[in-house]
Structure 1
Amino acid sequence: MQKFTSLSGVAAPLPLINIDTDMIIPKQYLKTIKRTGLGTGLFSELRYDEQGGENPEFVLNKPAYRQAEILVTGDNFGCGSSREHAPWALLDFGIRCVIAPSFADIFYNNCFKNGVLPIALPQEQIDLLMEDAEKGANARITVDLETQTIERPNGEKIAFDVDAFRRHCLLNGLDDIGLTLQHGSEIDAFEAKMNGDQPWVLQKRA
Structure 2
Amino acid sequence: MQPFTELTALVVALDRANVDTDAIIPKQFMKSIRRTGFGDNLFDEWRYLDHGEPGQDVSKRPRNPDFPLNQPRYAGAQILLTRENFGCGSSREHAPWALRDFGIRALIAPSFADIFHGNCFKNGMLPIVLEADVVDRLFRLVDATPGLQLHIDLPSQTVTPAGGAPIPFTIDPGRKHRLLHGLDDIALTLQRTDRIRAYEASRRLTEPWLFP
The Cα shift of 1:34 comes to: 1.2
The Cα shift of 1:65 comes to: 1.4
1:136 is the counterpart of 2:146: yes
Which ranges of structure 2 fall in alignment gaps of 5 or more residues?
52-60
1:98 is the counterpart of 2:107: yes
What SS is found at the alignment partner of 1:68?
A: coil
**1:78 match:** 87
Instruction: Describe how 1:18-167 pairs up with structure 2 within 5 A.
Output: 18-50=18-50, 52-134=61-143, 135-137=145-147, 139-167=148-176
**2:208 match:** 199
**1:9 match:** 9
Deviates more, 1:117-126 or 1:50-59: 50-59
The TM-score with structure 1 as length reference comes to: 0.93
Q: Distance in 2 between matches of 1:57 and 1:202?
A: 63
The Cα shift of 1:103 comes to: 0.8
Instruction: Describe how 1:179-190 pairs up with structure 2 within 5 A.
Output: 179-190=188-199
The Cα shift of 1:81 comes to: 0.8
What SS is found at the alignment partner of 1:99?
A: strand
State the Cα deviation string for residues 144-178 of structure 1 (Å, max 9, x = none). 11100001112311000001111111111111111
Which ranges of structure 1 fall in alignment gaps of 5 or more residues?
none
2:104 alignment partner AA: I
The Cα shift of 1:88 comes to: 0.5
Q: Is the 8 A contact 1:21 1:80 kept in 2?
A: yes
2:111 alignment partner AA: S
Q: Distance in 1 between matches of 2:142 and 2:159?
A: 13
1:39 alignment partner AA: G
The Cα shift of 1:121 comes to: 0.8
Deviates more, 1:183-192 or 1:95-104: 183-192
Query: What is the percentage of aligned positions where both structures have the same residue?
Result: 52
Q: Distance in 2 between matches of 1:144 and 1:32?
A: 33
What SS is found at the alignment partner of 2:84?
A: coil
2:131 alignment partner AA: P
1:27 alignment partner AA: K
Q: Is the 8 A contact 1:140 1:153 kept in 2?
A: yes
Deviates more, 1:128-137 or 1:156-165: 128-137
| Superposed structure 1 runs of 4+ greater than 2 Å apart | 131-136, 192-200
Root-mean-square deviation over aligned CA pairs: 1.3
Q: Is the 8 A contact 1:13 1:73 kept in 2?
A: yes
The Cα shift of 1:120 comes to: 0.9
Q: Distance in 2 between matches of 1:96 and 1:200?
A: 49
What SS is found at the alignment partner of 1:136?
A: coil
Q: Distance in 2 between matches of 1:40 and 1:66?
A: 14
The Cα shift of 1:46 comes to: 0.8
Q: Distance in 2 between matches of 1:179 and 1:68?
A: 30
Q: Is the 8 A contact 1:132 1:153 kept in 2?
A: no
